[in-house]
Structure 1
Amino acid sequence: MEIRVATFNVSMEAENYVPRGTHVSGEEMFAHLATGEHPQIGNIAEIIQRVRPDILLLNEFDYHPDAQKGIQAFVKHYLNQPQSGAEAIDYPYFYIAPVNTGVDSGHDLDGDGVASGSGGDAFGFGLYPGQYGMALLSRFPILKDDVRTFQRFLWKDMPDNLMTTVMDDQGKPWFSEQAQQVLRLSSKSHWDVPIDVGGKRVHILASHPTPPVFDGPENRNGKRNHDEIRFWVDYLSSDNKAAYIYDDKGTKGGFKGERFVILGDLNASQTEGDAFKQPIVNLLTHPEVHGSFVPRSEGGALHSPQNPLGAMHTAAWRMRPDYVLPSQHGWKIKEGGVFWPTQSDTLYRLIKDRNASSDHRLVWLDLAMAE
């Protein structure tokens, strides 16, 4: 059996749908989802219809507890409708869950002297709860009763974490003792979502670590990105290394399964960008991860003609932050790519600039299930 698995940072968050500097309530995107008429969302849907993944993670898709206003509206009003000649596509199964963005921590986390409750003082940066959320779409049944989420896992509970090394310019801890007791590791969430694919369980390991920028010399975001990626390295490792991990239901330990696919915008590259390189290197070279296959595109290569790594890029800002990483066992990689049409391609209109769709590209792999 062969399936196509993909990840796509769609930039479907409220700030993307109002003029720059305008106050956002968090409802702006959902209003557009109800109409089925927004051209940028239509382009995002068309990209998905063109690539036609069977399982798809959406990063930066605002979370709404009422799925009918959020992910189901996107499926019904956009994906189920042909976009500019592309064939409609349906996803009868989805998974959403709360994220840490915009959730008040009760502490001053950004160091401005005020515990404002949102933005840099939220558990994950966000102007309202649910901003930059995640959603998983599937053409196969999602085993929701067996999902593990790690939204509330505390950063302090990761052994040898880098939170304790975040210092101000006086050499004092950036985060107060009280803040260190409640600060969560995940800037959004980490999910382990099992899916029934032809009678076999496939675990989708989804996340969206914080960008390792937008901070200062203390590098609090860079160090958090380091540990958010390291979480998956530990989760897939031996029982002893993963013993510290607990999920939101209190179940302890690491990965318990066979086949998996790691999906998401990890905001890190082993060769470029500001992130610590070791965690993503450790993930790509993990004995349980097939990290040697790199999806490529001609469009990415032409976007950065002087950069030999351009074909690997998955974002317009010239880096590879987005990953589809299958397990070493249980799969054979058949093909893969990055949806990045060249300027001579009629589909270039879908990615020509930031307002056409997203500043990220959809990344996909075709995987054949092996015994």
Structure 2
Amino acid sequence: MTYVHATTLKIATFNVSMEALNYSEHKRGEPAHVSNKTLADALASDHQQIKNIAEIIQRVNPDIILLNEFDYLNDNNQALKSFINNYLNKSQHGQKAIDFPYFYQGPVNTGVNSGLDIDGDGKKGKLPGDGYGYGHFPGHFGMALLSKYPIDLDNIRSFQHFKWHDMPNALMPIDAETNTPWYSQSTWQALRLSSKSHWDVPVLVNGKAIHVLASHPTPPVFDGPEDRNGKRNHDEIRFWHDYISPGLADYIYDDNGEKGGLKTDQTFVILGDFNATTVEGNAIKAGISSLLNHAKIQDAMPYSQAGQLHKPDNQNAKYHTSNWGMRVDYVLASVLGLTLKDSGIFWPLKSEESYRLIKDRRASSDHRLVWVELTTKN
């Protein structure tokens, strides 16, 4: 692929934790009464946490950014437009305002009631556990992509409805006591792979497409010995490995019924909160490891001094992207068409004035914004 001239791009991912539950006193797994108006209400209230999130984005100034855990409210993008117009487009704490004239936010599986007993509690169709993805309402924990460059909306591919069992050698959860499938046959046949969705979003840079491959796999916890969430996390990550691999993607179909993966001559960036790392945590590490070691991918391995100081006894801490101490957020560029220039994690030191933006969970997010700077190849 050739470009008219080289362009430098900064591409970022940020789990902004702006899901509705963040505005209550409840944590995941606890009872909560929330509505899909909660995020819209917060956005309308000059919310300090949202202002801090906007300031972080302004400070990094990415050209393309994926937001994880930004609820999809099926409101004609009004909540997302509110965030752009009322927060990003306005200077936060003296920072230069930033604009993203192009954006995409599509439906996700979280909170979409399956009518099945997915969480194994003996009750069918009870949210949040029986959603195709864990969520209290449709769109909970959604995603949004913002860009300074045009998005080819007509050629976006989404894989929200792809069935887990249609992946060859899918890691079907097995009951540890009976050594039989943990899900019933009817549930297994209906289950979708994506806990939120998988998106292939072409962004046009000087008329050439860079395919932004975005997802947010489920955390590999909140389950039992059957490891249903761990196996789903593995296969959600494996999806991208297969999608960019000639000969492995033939089984994949998108929500329009088009089959196959990414063409071999297409430039891409894979990004999102993957809830997995190769060295820590409960994830099945083969999934993320195979992606990071893929011959078509270059991993910049962003790091921060503050992350290392946050967990001084952990030799991997400089790579951490979360305040609990794991690398879970990734921006992975294709070898084809892109040259790595720089990378980083927004994690100020305690001695810095901007530390107020990440000092605790309520300041902004329990994740850090991760960015990679790339140059398109001539």
TM-score in same-fold range (> 0.5) = yes
Partner of 1:9: 15
RMSD between superposed Cα atoms in Å: 1.1
Measure how far apart 1:52 and its partner are.
0.4
Distance in 1 between residues matched to 2:183 and 2:90, nearest whole Å: 48
Partner of 1:80: 89
Partner of 2:343: 336
Q: Which aligned runs of 4 or more in structure 1 are off by greater than 4 angstroms?
A: none
Distance in 2 between residues matched to 1:201 and 1:22, nearest whole Å: 42
Partner of 1:31: 41
Distance in 2 between residues matched to 1:334 and 1:241, nearest whole Å: 30
What are structure 2's unaligned runs of at least 5 residues? Answer: 1-6
Distance in 1 between residues matched to 2:78 and 2:18, nearest whole Å: 13
SS at match of 1:11: coil
Partner of 2:3: none
Measure how far apart 1:22 and its partner are.
4.4
- Percent identity, please: 57
Distance in 2 between residues matched to 1:87 and 1:18, nearest whole Å: 31
SS at match of 2:44: helix
Measure how far apart 1:23 and its partner are.
1.3
Measure how far apart 1:265 and its partner are.
0.3
Distance in 1 between residues matched to 2:160 and 2:127, nearest whole Å: 17
1:251-291 CA deviation, whole Å, 9 max, x = no partner? Answer: 00011252110010001101111101111111011111112
Distance in 2 between residues matched to 1:180 and 1:19, nearest whole Å: 34
Partner of 1:172: 180
1:67-95 CA deviation, whole Å, 9 max, x = no partner? Answer: 44221110011101111111110000000
1:228-264 CA deviation, whole Å, 9 max, x = no partner? Answer: 00100110111x3110000000000011252110010
Partner of 1:253: 260
| Match status 1:349 vs 2:359 | no
Q: 2:157 aligns with which of 134, 138, 148?
A: 148
Measure how far apart 1:200 and its partner are.
1.6
- 5 Å-filtered alignment, 1:289-308, equals 289-291=297-299, 293-308=300-315
Measure how far apart 1:171 and its partner are.
2.5
Measure how far apart 1:66 and its partner are.
1.9
Distance in 2 between residues matched to 1:138 and 1:210, nearest whole Å: 25
Partner of 2:4: none
Distance in 1 between residues matched to 2:261 and 2:77, nearest whole Å: 33
CA contact (8 A) 1:10 1:357 kept: yes
1:145-191 CA deviation, whole Å, 9 max, x = no partner? Answer: 0000000000010000012x432533232111111111000000000
SS at match of 2:297: coil
SS at match of 1:115: coil
Distance verdict in 2 for CA 1:68–1:277, change over 3 Å: closer
1:76-127 CA deviation, whole Å, 9 max, x = no partner? Answer: 1110111111111000000010000001111101111001331111100001
CA contact (8 A) 1:140 1:196 kept: yes
| Match status 1:71 vs 2:80 | yes
Measure how far apart 1:135 and its partner are.
0.1
| Match status 1:160 vs 2:137 | no
Q: 2:134 aligns with which of 101, 125, 146?
A: 125
SS at match of 2:213: strand
Distance in 1 between residues matched to 2:25 and 2:281, nearest whole Å: 28
Distance in 2 between residues matched to 1:54 and 1:268, nearest whole Å: 25
AA of the residue aligned to 2:144? A
CA contact (8 A) 2:114 2:125 kept: no
- 5 Å-filtered alignment, 1:1-371, equals 1-20=7-26, 22-35=32-45, 37-163=46-172, 165-167=173-175, 169-238=177-246, 240-256=247-263, 257-291=265-299, 293-371=300-378
AA of the residue aligned to 1:279? G
SS at match of 2:145: strand
Distance in 2 between residues matched to 1:197 and 1:166, nearest whole Å: 46
AA of the residue aligned to 1:284? L
What are structure 1's unaligned runs of at least 5 residues? Answer: none
AA of the residue aligned to 2:57? I
AA of the residue aligned to 2:201? V
Distance in 1 between residues matched to 2:36 and 2:228, nearest whole Å: 26
CA contact (8 A) 2:109 2:195 kept: yes
SS at match of 1:77: helix
SS at match of 1:336: strand
1:51-77 CA deviation, whole Å, 9 max, x = no partner? Answer: 000000000100022244221110011
Distance in 2 between residues matched to 1:205 and 1:68, nearest whole Å: 20
Distance in 2 between residues matched to 1:342 and 1:169, nearest whole Å: 48
Distance in 2 between residues matched to 1:270 and 1:113, nearest whole Å: 34
Aligned length: 367
> What is the TM-score when the length of structure 1 is the normalising length?
0.97
Distance in 1 between residues matched to 2:230 and 2:39, nearest whole Å: 29
AA of the residue aligned to 2:297? V
